[in-house]
């Protein structure tokens, strides 16, 4: 399975644990799940401990999620980001989308 | 040198990535280096699949491990419309650029992760060559 996502509800916010990778073959699907969940909560935290790979297709999914939450005045947070993933976020400036907790 | 020819379709990405990673398996490379190579291969192959052909065509991937110093050279060849991905400016990664169009992210990541990136158009083919020290 390319990506498993589990949800922890915390009042009006939620945490999503990402387990797997986001690449061009699954990014649309992953994005759809993220957007669906974003529709139900004020703010989201992505726990990226088990996100072992992300490509530009994944960054676009994160960007869409960020814009969806921002539209509603919510925050996108991230935690436990792997070093290699973090480097991709840093070099592309996508760290700007996240509050790191 | 080994090579693989596949239809230039995003659905074939796994085949291309597996092909390259298998060549590297015997060399015990770090997680991070493997991540970076996978990323560069994906971004290039996805670009070819998205833009080179209409209708679809083929992409050839060549992979060679060289020693002294230990490095991998990967070439992507396609017969699609002539296109030099290195000729474009880097994307605007300021806040405004981030939230606007983000074309060029893929090749930007290739240039960031690889030690050398070269393009030529020869014998009717786009040839993109990347090199990573291992």
| Averaged pLDDT for residues B68-87 | 94
Burial class (CB in 10 A: 0-12, 13-18, 19+), A77: middle
Residue B20 has pLDDT above 80, yes or no: yes
Strands A13-22 and A43-54: parallel
Per CB-CB distance under 8 Å, the chain B contacts of A67 are: 99
Torsion angle (degrees, nearest 10) of CA B116, A27, B87, B133: 0
Query: Please, which pLDDT band fits residue B103 given cuts at 50, 70 and 90?
Result: low
For the record, the structure tokens of A57 come out as 């297709």
Instruction: Give the model's pLDDT for residue B99.
Output: 54
Residue B129 has pLDDT above 60, yes or no: yes
- pLDDT at residue B37 above 70? yes
Cross-chain Cβ contact A25/B95 below 8 Å: no
pLDDT-based confidence at residue B14 (cuts at 50, 70, 90): very high
Q: For B54-68, write each residue's pLDDT tens digit.
A: 777 999 999 999 999
Would the pLDDT of B52 be above 80?
no
**Residues B37-60: what's their mean pLDDT?**
91
The mean pLDDT value of chain B amounts to 91
Alpha carbon B55 to chain centroid, angstroms: 21
| Axis crossing angle, helix B31-51 with helix A83-91, rounded to the nearest 10 | 50
Is the Cβ of B18 closer than 8 Å to some Cβ of chain A? Answer: no
B11 contacts A25? CB cut-off 8 A: yes
- In angstroms, the CA A61 to CA A58 distance is 5
Residue A1: predicted pLDDT: 62
Shortest alpha-carbon distance between residue B85 and chain A (Å): 16
More confident call, B120 vs B54? B120
pLDDT at B90: 75
CB atoms A56 and B105 under 8 Å: yes
- Between the alpha carbon of residue B103 and those of residues A25, A56, B51, the distances in Å are 18, 10, 12
Q: What is the mean pLDDT of chain A?
A: 97
Stronger pLDDT, A85 or B99, i.e. the higher one: A85
**Mean pLDDT value of segment B3-26:** 97
Query: Out of A31-45, A64-78, B78-92, which region has the weakest mean confidence (pLDDT)?
Result: B78-92
Contact at CB, A84 and B112, closer than 8 angstroms: no
User: Above pLDDT 90, what percent of chain B?
Assistant: 79
Using DSSP, state whether B114 is helix, strand or coil. coil
| Interchain CB contact of B54 with A (< 8 Å) | no
Considering only CB atoms, A24 lies closest to which of B46, B94, B109, namely B46
- Would you list the DSSP string of B19-40? HHHHHHGGG---HHHHHHHHHH
Q: How many Cβ contacts (< 8 angstroms) between chains A and B?
A: 56
| Residues in chain B closer than 8 A to A96 (CB atoms) | 95, 98
Summarised one tens digit per residue, pLDDT across range A7-29 is: 999 999 999 999 999 999 999 99
Note whether B46 contacts A57, CB cutoff 8 Å.
yes
Q: What is the pLDDT of residue B104?
A: 82
The DSSP output letter for B83 is -
Kindly report the nearest CA distance between residue B32 and chain A, in angstroms: 6
How confident is the model at residue B89, as a pLDDT? 74
Chain A CB within 8 Å of residue B78 CB = no
Please answer whether residues B41 and B81 qualify as being in contact, where contact means their C-beta atoms are separated by less than 8 angstroms.
Answer: no
Instruction: Please tell me the distance in Å from A66's CA to the nearest CA on chain B.
Output: 10
- DSSP SS3 for B89: coil
């Amino acid at each position: 399975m390319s990506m498993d996502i589990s949800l922890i509800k915390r009042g009006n916010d939620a945490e999503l644990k990402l387990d797997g990778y986001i690449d061009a073959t699954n990014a649309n699907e992953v994005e759809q799940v993220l957007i669906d969940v974003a529709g139900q909560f004020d703010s989201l935290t992505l726990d990226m401990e088990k996100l072992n790979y992300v490509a530009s297709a994944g960054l676009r999914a994160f960007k869409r999620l960020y814009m969806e939450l921002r539209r509603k005045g919510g925050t996108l947070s991230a935690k436990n980001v792997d070093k290699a993933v973090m480097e991709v976020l840093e070099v592309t400036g996508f760290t700007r989308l996240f509050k790191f907790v | 040198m080994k090579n693989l020819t596949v239809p230039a379709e995003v659905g074939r990405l796994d085949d291309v990535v597996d092909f390259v990673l298998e060549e590297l398996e015997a060399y015990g490379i770090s997680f991070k280096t493997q991540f970076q190579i996978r990323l560069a291969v994906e971004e290039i192959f996805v670009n070819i699949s998205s833009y080179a052909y209409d209708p679809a065509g083929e992409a050839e991937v060549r992979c060679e491990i060289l020693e002294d110093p230990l490095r991998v050279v990967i070439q992507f060849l396609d017969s699609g419309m002539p296109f030099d991905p290195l000729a474009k400016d880097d994307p605007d990664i300021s806040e405004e650029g981030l939230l606007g169009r983000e074309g060029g992210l893929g090749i930007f990541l290739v240039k960031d992760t690889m030690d050398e990136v070269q393009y030529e158009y020869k014998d009717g083919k786009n040839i993109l060559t990347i090199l990573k020290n291992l």
